[in-house]
Structure 1
Amino acid sequence: MPLDLFRNQPALAPELLQAVSGIKPPEYEQISLGSEALTDCNPTEYRCDSTVLLGDPERPDLAIVVEIQLRPDRRKRYSWPVYLSTLRARRECAVTLLVLCPNKATADWCRQPIESGHHGWILRPWVLSLTEVPAVTDVDQARSLPELAVLSTVANADGPDRKAVLTAFAEALEVTDRDKGELYHDYVRSQLSEAARHCLEEIMQAGVYEWQSDFALKHIAEGKAEGKIEGKAEGKIEGKLEGEIELLLVVLESRGFEVGDDLRQRIASCQDLEQIHVWARNAVTASSLDEVFD
């Protein structure tokens, strides 16, 4: 998933490179992905995880090799220098290596200098553990680079800035298209503690923000449905049938459907609890009222 973030948003690479190295990348008007294949005349194929080009794709100012390293691998001590030298020869520009790791132990291994054997020729990779990604609490920053907010949330959701980090992530989802939004939300949720997941859901459901994106509206509708179901299971909802009817109406309104008097009467007069459940499930994903009730 972290690799997909770079492929979806190449600007994440220079942002994290500056965060870990302190070196400001050159100013650029263009940024693009390069080929991951670094094969030279030697029949051995070398393939990195991703490359990001800053500047004109034909004559970039800087090329960043991005590697996601899940565990120590001695072969990378030999292939990483090949990635950089081959890419440098091909693009005729400065190159650097950015490595992301899931934990501190792997990051410490990746940071070890790589001696080439030639005096003074030593590769020192820029390495960032995913647990060390800086906290993004500024809403504007999160909205301008949602992929950074994703990594920030995974790293900092249980830290002292939990609410600000999760709020920034929720705002980032607001400007993310529906497919990516669902992917990012599911990934982040899978990495969060129970307390952080609960906090995120409260933020999304609080009603403080006027969410506009398709993803946010769909998520809120589903969240309300899940919340009602959970509350019902815990004995917090009295009048089971009335509660399910209320839930159905909430979902329909959250999805933007207009519920006329006739339809409202039809729903209110239904005494079949399972039928109400079917309508509520349909309402979460349906694109029209016909799909809900037919």
Structure 2
Amino acid sequence: MITPLHEGLVGITTLDPGHTAHMLRALFALPIPVESEASRVCSDLSEAVPAPFRADAALLYGDEPSTKLGVIVEVQLSDDKEKHWSWLSYIASLRARDECPVCLVVICPDRATARWASRPIETGHPGLTLTPLVVGPDNTKAITDVAEAVGNIGLAAVSAITQSNHPEIAEILAALTEALDSLDTGVARRYAEYVTVALKGNAQKEMERLMATETYRYQGEYAQSLRAEGRAEGEVKLLLIFLESRGIALSDGDRKRITTCGDVARLELWAERAALVSTVEELFA
């Protein structure tokens, strides 16, 4: 099931493949050349197998045949025995498609799932055993030093989630938010967004509080986007209440069109029209 935690972690690992490479070199000593080209490639790995297989993400490093390396990224939030059958297919399909070595990285925010994902998978062929490379709470330290976070942004962002229950989570998030200021503002804002949606409870509230401080430029942009979202939500609620009070019937499609609109100017226009129209068709005209 797709969740904010799942999507946040996928976003972090695919936002900048170079930062992800730095994390993977630090955790698993993967032979990813430092100066190699990096890109996100299609994660639909169905071409070489009869059934559809789609990984969470697939990254390709290197531009020379001798240095190319494929990395499949999977986010696991719980045990899923079916993955023990499909993960090897992911590797085989990407390997055949891009003609390069491929490894599997599984990110697990909790220890129980990380232990499950770390188990060797016997394929049945002598000598061919798949042992996933697992990123979890036990091999991602709590990074509270800003310089260390700057040195490995990808790892710092993932660690903020895998260590979200750590007693020093406030210090971890403070170091991360300051370290993000070393990046392009657009990239920094997206990292902050992915981390925020992936966190839960008090950790998420602390990250939201830090984002509202507007100490750095990217935080100001993030806070502005949150305010715009909040304003849009308010306009949607008022518009729906007004239409209901006037007895203007809405189909499920009409309601969805209104509730999914994030354009404040358009919502304001609809609100102005709502006082004059008698049908929803006139509202959207």
Alignment partner for residue 27 of structure 1, among 12, 33, 37? Answer: 33
Give 1:61 deviation, angstroms: 2.2
Structure 2 unaligned spans of 5+:
1-7, 226-285
Superposed, which structure 2 residues align to 1:55-204 within 5 Å?
55-56=62-63, 60-129=67-136, 132-143=139-150, 145-156=152-163, 159=166, 165-176=172-183, 181-189=188-196, 191=199, 194=202, 201=209
**Residue identity matched to 1:107:** A
State how far apart, in whole Å, the 2-side matches of 1:75 and 1:155 are: 24
Cα pair distance change 1:91/1:60, threshold 3 Å: farther
State how far apart, in whole Å, the 2-side matches of 1:134 and 1:221 are: 32
SS state at 2:23 partner: helix
Matched, 1:216 2:213: no
Cα pair distance change 1:65/1:189, threshold 3 Å: closer
Cα pair distance change 1:120/1:38, threshold 3 Å: same
Give 1:11 deviation, angstroms: 2.4
Cα pair distance change 1:43/1:220, threshold 3 Å: closer
Cα pair distance change 1:46/1:176, threshold 3 Å: same
Give 1:6 deviation, angstroms: 1.7
Does the 8 A contact of 2:48 with 2:96 survive in 1?
A: no
Does the 8 A contact of 2:106 with 2:132 survive in 1?
A: yes
**Residue identity matched to 2:92:** S
Cα pair distance change 1:7/1:195, threshold 3 Å: closer
Alignment partner for residue 10 of structure 1, among 14, 17, 28? Answer: 17
Does the 8 A contact of 2:189 with 2:221 survive in 1?
A: no
**Which piece of structure 1 moves more, 156-165 or 125-134?**
156-165
TM-score (normalised: structure 1): 0.60
SS state at 2:17 partner: coil
**Residue identity matched to 2:219:** A
**Which piece of structure 1 moves more, 110-119 or 146-155?**
146-155
Structure 1 unaligned spans of 5+:
223-294
Matched, 1:40 2:47: yes
SS state at 1:11 partner: helix
Match of 2:60 in 1: 53
SS state at 2:43 partner: coil
RMSD: 3.6
Give 1:63 deviation, angstroms: 1.0
State how far apart, in whole Å, the 1-side matches of 2:44 and 2:31 are: 24
Specify the structure having the higher radius of gyration (Cα): 1
Give 1:112 deviation, angstroms: 1.2
Deviations along 1:93-129, one digit per CA (max 9) or x if unpaired, are 2211100012111111111111111111100111122
State how far apart, in whole Å, the 2-side matches of 1:133 and 1:67 are: 17
State how far apart, in whole Å, the 2-side matches of 1:95 and 1:198 are: 38
TM-score (normalised: structure 2): 0.62
Give 1:4 deviation, angstroms: 0.7
**Residue identity matched to 1:79:** S
Match of 2:269 in 1: none
Give 1:174 deviation, angstroms: 2.0
Cα pair distance change 1:123/1:50, threshold 3 Å: same
Higher relative contact order (CA 8 A, sep 6+): 2
State how far apart, in whole Å, the 1-side matches of 2:55 and 2:210 are: 40
State how far apart, in whole Å, the 1-side matches of 2:123 and 2:26 are: 27
State how far apart, in whole Å, the 1-side matches of 2:75 and 2:172 are: 23
Match of 1:257 in 2: none
Deviations along 1:166-193, one digit per CA (max 9) or x if unpaired, are 3421223324555654554355456266
